[in-house]
Amino acid sequence: MKVERKANKVDESDVFYVEHAERQSAHVPMGPSRFRRFIPILITAIFFSSLTFGIVKYLEPPRLDLKFALLATNGKIALSEAELRQVVAGEGLTVYWLGSQEGALYALNSVSSAQNYVRYLPNGKGLGDTSANYRVIGTYETKDAFSVTLSNAKKINSVGFINEDGNAVYYGTLAPNSVYVGVKGTDSQVEIFDPNSGLALIAARTPKLLERIS
Where is pLDDT greater, at 5 or 194?
194
Please state the rounded mean pLDDT for residues 6-33.
Answer: 46
Asked if residue 101 belongs to a domain, the reply is: yes
In degrees, rounded to 5, the angle at the alpha carbon of residue 86 between the alpha carbons of residues 123 and 138 is: 65
In degrees, rounded to 5, the angle at the alpha carbon of residue 102 between the alpha carbons of residues 116 and 198 is: 65
Asked if residue 18 belongs to a domain, the reply is: no
Asked if residue 30 belongs to a domain, the reply is: no
Domain that holds residue 188: 66-212
* First CA to last CA distance, the chain: 102
Q: Which of 115, 210, 127, 78 is nearest to 87 (CA)?
A: 78
pLDDT digits (tens, 9 = 90+) for 62-101: 556 899 999 999 999 999 999 999 999 999 999 999 999 9
Asked if residue 203 belongs to a domain, the reply is: yes
Task: Quote the pLDDT of residue 22.
Answer: 45
Where is pLDDT greater, at 52 or 19?
52
pLDDT digits (tens, 9 = 90+) for 98-133: 999 999 999 999 999 899 999 999 999 999 998 999
Q: How many domains does the chain have?
A: 1
pLDDT digits (tens, 9 = 90+) for 138-175: 999 999 999 999 999 999 999 999 999 999 999 999 99
Asked if residue 29 belongs to a domain, the reply is: no
Asked if residue 143 belongs to a domain, the reply is: yes
Asked if residue 10 belongs to a domain, the reply is: no
pLDDT band, residue 50 (cuts 50/70/90): low
For the cut 80, the answer to whether the pLDDT of residue 36 exceeds it is no
For the cut 50, the answer to whether the pLDDT of residue 37 exceeds it is yes
For the cut 60, the answer to whether the pLDDT of residue 3 exceeds it is no
